[in-house]
Structure formats: structure tokens, C-alpha cells
Structure 1
């Protein structure tokens, strides 16, 4: 039972989280792994091919050396045959020229022996071949010396055989032994050449197979890499399309929300203007009637008590003065909420009156460029332009520290343009980006809600310039979910 438990523990799979992390790591680094494998295989294949090339070159060199040695051994055998023929010819003809030819052949034989000796003693032959070659050198020297001695003995007069080397009185070696040894060495070299050629052909086949396998493997790797690249490109394209779709949805949502906010702002402004109108009417009707009736009663009492109770008459006179101030305050409040000049005389007169009153309060120099006659505009457009002018002059009085204010109004081509400028300290660029400046935002929103354009900038060299461009008929459209307000004119 313990063994079974240990076996079951050994067969328990690895942690799934570790396997997942390994899979994710492999997936993220598939490019690096594939490129590393491709580089390693390519470098390994190049090393193998270079090694095979060096082996093939060495084997070809060995085969060429073996063929050269075979040719030299064949040449040596031919020279030994010529040597025997020249000896036999001299013994028959007794010509000195034949003896000299014998010595020349002996010299060539020794030159061939030197070339072969460099090969066999250069480490390219084994010990058995070196031993056989050493023995055959001895036999050949004995053969040359014995033949020269035979020529000297058979000559009718002494011969000059110094070129043949030292004469030998020993019996010459058997020619068949020399020939068989040379044949054995020649056969060994031919086998060496054949073996080297066979090995080189085998290495060539291996190199060809290795190159073909390496090429096939690289092709497979490149196919896999390009397939992975295609998959990643498709994935990125899908992600890009999803991002574009989401961006379009967000843009549409933002556009819809902006439209709703603009409609809400228009509705709130309309409601605000309507409430101001209603409040102004109530103040004018109710409070005005109360203050007027109170003033009449106090004035009547004052006349009755003027002679009989002078002290009470003085109090009543002071009360009349307070009532006059209350009526003036009521009129000023009504004018601020819903100017009667705008309702009764139009925008041009209202702007002139507003500018004159502001100039008197702040000691400004006015520069007015207003139409000579009143103009007919949409009521909402008139209210928007008047409120912008009212807010602009209020800001100039609070912050600009100006001494001169100019107002211009132009109408044409279905549009009306209002320009207000002062020579004060000027608005700063940072103030244009602040989100808590409700006055600027209110003016901008009021103009945009009616399809207009509002632009405020720092003047040259100082001051503040405000430009408003609006259609002469308001294009504001409330949302279908927002009931439109119905502003009414304030009665006089």
C-alpha cells in the first residue's frame, strides 16, 4: 500500500497554474524561441557542411597523392624494365652508348626513389608500406650495382660508369621479387585512392542530405514563422477593428451626450429666462402695486399731519423717501432679470442703455458702433446677445481695470455679429483653459446653444476682445425629452 501511494503521488500532474504560466511564456516568446532554434540549426548545419567540405578536400588530396604514387611506382617499374633491357642490349652489342644509357636510367630511377621516399617517410603511409619500400630500395640499388658490374666485366675496355653509382659484386635480386613488391605497393596505393574517393563520395552524399535537410527545416521554420506572423497580424487587425468600433461607439455616445447636454443647457437657459420674466412680472405687478399704494397712503397721511403733528410728518416724509428707494430697487432688479428696454425698444437701444449705465458707473470712455435704427431679430437671439454683452461688461468692471470700452453690432447675410473690446489688463491664456470660470462657460454655452460662435482672446497690445457670430434667427432645438420654455415679454 505505501508503494502504491507513492506511485500515485509520482503520477500526480503538475500544478495547472505553473503549466499555464509556462504555456503563456512559450506563447509570448514563440518568436524568440523559433528564431533561436533556426539560428542554432543554421549555424550547426553550416559547421557540419564546412567539416564535410574539409573532409572531402582531404580525401580528394589523399586520392590524388595515392594516384601520383601509383603513377610513380609504375614509372619506376618501367624504368627497371628499361634498365634490364639496356643491360641485355649492351651484352649483345658492346656499345658504349648503351652503357651510358644504362647509367642515365639508373639516375632517373634514383630520382624516382627520392620522390617516393618523401611520400613514404612523410607520414602518409603506414609502417608496413614504409618497410616494404625500404626493402625494395635496397633491392633496386643491388640490382643497379650488380648490373653495372656485369657491364664493366663484359666490356672490351674499361667503361666510365661513375654515374651508375658504386658497383656491386653481389648477385642481383630477382626481378620478379622487385616487380611483385612494386605491384603490391601500387595496389595498396590504388586501394587507398579508391577508398578516399569512396569516402569523399559518401561525405558528398551526407553533405547533400544535410544541406537538403537543413533547407527543408529552415523552410518549415520560415513557414511556421510567417504563419505565426500572419496569425498575429490578423489578431492585431481584429483588435484594431474592435478598437475602431469601440472608438466610433464612444464618439457616437459622446456626440449624443453632447447633443443632450446642449439641449439641456438651452432648456435650462430658456427656463431661467422664463422664470426671470415671470418673477419680474410678479415684482412689477404685485410688489409695485403694494409699494405704490403704500406711498399714496403715506403721502395722504403726511399731508393731513403736516400742520398738526410736525414730528409725525417728518417720520412719514422719511418713510416716503424709503418707499422711493424701494421702488427704484424694484425697478433695477426687474431690469437685471428682464430688461424692459430690450422688451419694448429692441436690442440696439438696450445695448446703448446698458453701455451708458456701465460707463457712468465705471467712468469709461465709450466707443459705440451700433445701427442707427433698431433691427428685427429672433427673441432668443436678442436675449443671448444682450446677456453676453451684460456679462462682458460685468467682467470688464470687475477684472479688466479698463478706461475705454467699445461695442459694435453688425447685421447681414442672415447673421449678426457682436464685438466687445476693452483696453484693460487683458485675459490670460491660462484663464481660457480654466473650467471653473462659469461666466465664460455660460456665454460660450449660451451662444453655442443658439447655433452661434463665441471667441474670446487677448487683445493687441492689451485688453480683451470678444467676438460673437450668431444667426439672426435662433437655431436652438430643445431635446424631445425636454419641454421648451415659452418666454414672454415683460409688461411695462
Structure 2
């Protein structure tokens, strides 16, 4: 019995809403995690600027309130001085009426001028502060004071007829002045109280601003510390991964070097076997064929001269084949190297290349052939062989210099030409002129391979290899036995 597949209900907008909400929250959290330091710095700057604006406005209010208090205190002193001057003015008028002497008149006029100046100063003050009630009270006081000055002036003009002045007027004027003084004292005290309150508010604002900035900077540095710790952990992980990758690359490089050395060993063994077969099998076949053709040519020389001539050409072709066979064998496995040693093989190799390419050769070789071991001798011989081949193909040189030096620990081969020189891009690519094979041969023996462009022109190759066996031998030995 088959069952129909159950249909999956489509996602609706109601189902997708929580997903979008979670995605939005995740983006907001990620943004806050990345830019929280920027938000904290912005908030700290805004708070600092706002606090400075508040403090500056508070300072201006405190200054204005202190100025109001000082003006009120000064007005109180002026009112007290005005009350004293008015009392003095009244007393001087009465004294002149009782005893009209010029000294009293002069003192009255001086006091009257002082009263007028005080009235003008106080009138300007009340008009400036805009207190209508105080200004109305002061207008009455000013009118009474001016009336007192006029009455005194009239008394000075007619001292013999004194004018009676009720005592209630003096009491009313003193009461009005006392009321204004009390009002100014209250104004000054109110301004001082307001300035103290503003000072306390400013102090609280400064404290709150400092505390808030401290909190913000603590949060900022805490966040920075978390970010730095995270970066440090990521960096340590990257370093660990890099070390593991380097170790893996090193192991793979060693494996590739072992494989390359194995392939080179197999190649050399195959060349040796092929050279032996060519020498034994093909050499004997060509030699026997040459002997048979020569015998037939001897029999047909007198009876069939045309056939004898053909056989003579065949013998020449066999000689060329034998020479080609010998050259191939020497290229694959130089018998001179096996029989006489590296120095003799190098000399013969360079001389043969010089004859083919018309080179002038200079040698710096040891007098005797040292015993370096088969692997080292083959590696050095192959490097020299590849170098001379490249020089013949690309260098267009006329002079070649070959030097072989050695000590108890190492052997060095140096080959230089005066050709056009290797190009810088070829030095960087290392895939040109068989450089990879030469480098691999030398590095597999634990040696060092260097190639450089010689100024003004030419190319120099320097190879240095240890004379003792290195770890590469231990890797290569089973490869040769397996071959």
C-alpha cells in the first residue's frame, strides 16, 4: 500500500516575521559589538559638550546674580546716604534760618548737589532693573527730596521768614527710604541665595559629568580589552594554523624530495641498464653486421664493383650507427666517469662541448681524481652536462671556465660563461633551462645550488655539496634497491 507524500505547508508571512526579527536583532548586536566603542566615544563627547554648555550658562547666571546682589548692596548704601543727606539738608536749612551765615549756605548748596546726584544715580538704577513698584516709590521719594531742596533754597533766599514744615513729612520720607532699603537688601539676599543654588547645581553637574564620563571610559576600555583579547586569540589561532601548515608543507616537501630522488635514481638505473643493453646487444649486432658486410664487400670487390661500393657505404653507415650508439651510451651512463673518475669525465665533457661550439676553455681542476662516491659524481656530472647544454643553446658564449674545488667536508663545482647572460625573469621562474632538475639533484644530496647573472655579461653556476652522505641517501637507498 503506497502513501502519498505529505505536502509541506508553505511558509507564511506570519512564520517569516520571527525569523526577520531574529535576523534584525543579530545584525544590531553585531553592529553594537563592532562599533560600541564609537557609540561610547560619541556619547561621551556629546555629554561633555552638553555639560560644558550647562556649566557655562550656570557661570553666566551666577555672574549675573552676583552683579545683581552687588548692585542691590550699592543701591542700599546709596539710599542710606540719601537719607542722611536729606536729614543733613533739613538741619542745615533750619540752622541757616536761625543763624544766616554764608558757611551754612555753602554747606546747604553742596549737600543739595550731592542729593541731586544720588537721586539721578538711583533713578537710573531703578529704571535699569525694571522694578515698577520700587520705581514708583522712588519717584515719591525723589519728589519729596526735590521739594525739600526747593524749600531750603527758598529759606536761604528769605531767612527772616521761616516756613513751618510738619514733622510728619520727615517721618514719611524716612519710612519710604527704609522700605526701599529693605527691598534692596531682600533683592541682594535673594540674588546671593540664587547664586549659591546655581553653584550647588553646577557642582552636582560637574560631579555627574565626571562620573558618567568615567563610567563610559571604563566601558570603552573594557570593550577594547575584550576586542584586544579576541584579536590576540585569533592571532594565536592563526599562528598555530600557520605552524601546522608550515609543518605540513615541510613534510610534503620532504616527501616530494624523496620521490624526486627516487625517480632520479630509477632513471639513472634505467639509463645504466639501457646503456648496458645497447653496449652488449646492439653493439655486438652492429659489429657483427659490419664484419659480415666487410667480408661480402671483399668477395665482391673484383667481380661486382658497384655492389662493393654500395657495401662500402653500408659499412660507413654502420660506423656512424656504432658512433651514435657510443654517444648515446656516454650520455646515458658515461663510461669515463665510471672508469676514470669525475675530473677526467668533466675534462672530456667540456672539451667535447668546446669542439662542437668553438669555445675557449679554461680549467681549474685537481690533478688527481678524488673518490667522492657514485651519487655525488653523477649529480655533479649531470649538472655540468645540463649547464653546457644550456650554454650551447642560449648563451652564445665564446669562453667557458670550469673549476672543481674540494676540502675534507664539501666539494664545489663552478661553471661560468661570457654569453648574453640569463634573464632576471628566468631566475625568478626557475622553470627554464632545466634549472628545476639541477636544483633537485643538488638539494637531494643536501647541497646548495646558485645561479646568477654576471656583470657585464654572462652566467655563473655554483654548486656546493657535502662529501659525506646525508639524510637524502637514506631515503634514496631503498628506492635504488626497489628499482
Alignment partner, residue 48 of structure 1: 54
Classify 1:481/1:344 alpha carbon distance in 2 versus 1 (closer, same or farther; 3 Å).
closer
Q: What residue number does 2:187 align with?
A: 192
> How big is the shift at 1:137?
1.5
Give the unaligned 5+ runs of structure 2.
1-13
Q: How does 1:19-98 map to 2 (within 5 A)?
A: 19-87=25-93, 89=95, 97-98=103-104
- 1:352-371 paired onto structure 2 within 5 Å: 352-371=347-366
- Equivalent of 2:324, from 329, 342, 356? 329
Instruction: Give SS of 2:434's match.
Output: helix
1:364-398 residue CA offsets vs partner (Å, 9 max, x unmatched):
22222222222211211100111111111111222
Q: Which moved more, 1:17-26 or 1:223-232?
A: 17-26
TM-score normalised by the chain length of structure 2: 0.87
Aligned to 1:391: 386
Q: 2:8 — aligned with what?
A: none
Question: Is the 1:280–1:337 contact (alpha carbons within 8 Å) kept by the matching residues of 2?
Answer: yes
Q: Distance in 1 between matches of 2:411 and 2:273?
A: 28
- Please report how far the alpha carbon of residue 228 of structure 1 lies from its aligned counterpart in structure 2 after TM superposition: 1.7
Q: Which residue of 1 aligns with 2:258?
A: 263
Shift of 1:308: 7.5
**2-structure distance, mates of 1:487, 1:386:** 24
Deviation of the 1:87 alpha carbon? 4.7
C-alpha deviation, 1:39, in angstroms: 1.4
CA deviation digits over 1:396-442, x for unaligned, max 9? 22222223322222222322221222232222222222343261111
Structure 1's unaligned 5+ residue stretches are: 1-7, 159-166
Within 5 Å, which residues of 2 pair with 1:53-452?
53-87=59-93, 89=95, 97-98=103-104, 100-121=106-127, 123-147=128-152, 149=154, 155=160, 174-296=169-291, 320-437=315-432, 439-452=434-447
Give the C-alpha shift of residue 338 in structure 1.
Answer: 0.6
Cα 1:149–1:358 change in 2 (3 A) is: closer
CA contact (8 A) 1:147 1:172 kept: no
Shift of 1:176: 1.1
Shift of residue 25 of structure 1?
A: 2.5
Contact 2:445–2:473, Cα closer than 8 Å, also in 1:
no
The 8 Å contact of residues 258 and 475 in structure 2, kept in 1 or not, is answered as no
Distance change >3 Å, CA 295–CA 181, structure 1 → 2: same
> Contact 1:453–1:470 (CA<8 Å) still a contact in 2?
yes
Work out the CA distance in 1 between the residues paired with 2:18 and 2:275: 87
Q: Secondary structure at the match of 2:479?
A: coil
Change beyond 3 A, Cα 1:362–1:125: closer
Tell me by how many angstroms 1:251 deviates: 2.1
Check the 8 A contact 1:341/1:350 in 2, yes or no.
yes
Q: RMSD over aligned Cα, in angstroms?
A: 3.1
289-298 or 385-394, which deviates more: 289-298
Q: Under a length normalisation based on structure 1, what TM-score does the superposition of the two structures give?
A: 0.85
CA distance in 2, matches of 1:100, 1:302: 176
